[in-house]
Amino acid sequence: MSAYERIAPELYAYICNTVSDTPFYNLIGINLERIEKGHAVLSVWPKEDHLNPLGMVHGGLVVTLADAAMGNAIRSMGIKGVTADITVSFISPPPLGVKIEAEGRVLKAGQNLIFAEAEVWAEKKLIAKSQGTFFKTGEISLG
């Protein structure tokens, strides 16, 4: 059982549509795995197009996935926001041919700024940790 609250069905549908309709997410193959209030899990299956010159998964893919997980965790609270600052610590490279998942959590939602964190995993192995600060741009209107 999850420690997070479920979100309203309308907000869930909005987030699912947002993820599936975001061109950049589609370009790199980001999928929504789970969404609850203040919490989101997104994933990607790395392809050859995602490799760096050393033949490893490019760090930019990991950063993008962490950013997307934090951003959707924020959306799950009915908040629109954009990234103001992101820091990523790479711990180990993900193995090839393995699904990568990022779990984003909202730490604090203030009046203008939202603070979030994400962990990025591959095969139950932590590969990166991230922290982000987001500017609040508004509330999600479902009506």
Q: Which of 63, 66, 69 is nearest to 38 (CA)?
A: 69
Sheet with 125-139, edge to edge strand ranges: 31-36, 39-44, 100-109, 113-122, 125-139, 79-90
pLDDT: which is higher, 1 or 64: 64
| Buried b or exposed e, range 77-102, using 16+ CB within 10 angstroms | bbbebeeeebebeeeeebeeeeebbb
Residue 108 lies in a domain: yes
Q: What is the pTM of this model?
A: 0.94
Q: Is residue 48 part of a domain?
A: yes
Residue 3 lies in a domain: no
Overall number of domains in the chain:
1
Q: What is the pLDDT of residues 3-56, one digit of tens each?
A: 778 999 999 999 999 999 999 999 999 999 999 999 999 999 998 888 778 888
Of 7-16, 93-102, 103-112, 122-131, the range with the lowest mean pLDDT is 93-102
Question: Quick check: is 118 in a domain?
Answer: yes
Which range of residues forms the domain containing residue 58? Answer: 9-139
Residue 1 has pLDDT above 50, yes or no: no
* Phi, psi (degrees; rounded to nearest 5) at 95: -70, 150
Reported as a single tens digit per residue, the pLDDT across 44-90 is: 999 888 877 888 888 888 999 999 999 999 999 999 999 999 999 99
- Write the CATH number for 109: 3.10.129.10
Position 96 in a domain = yes
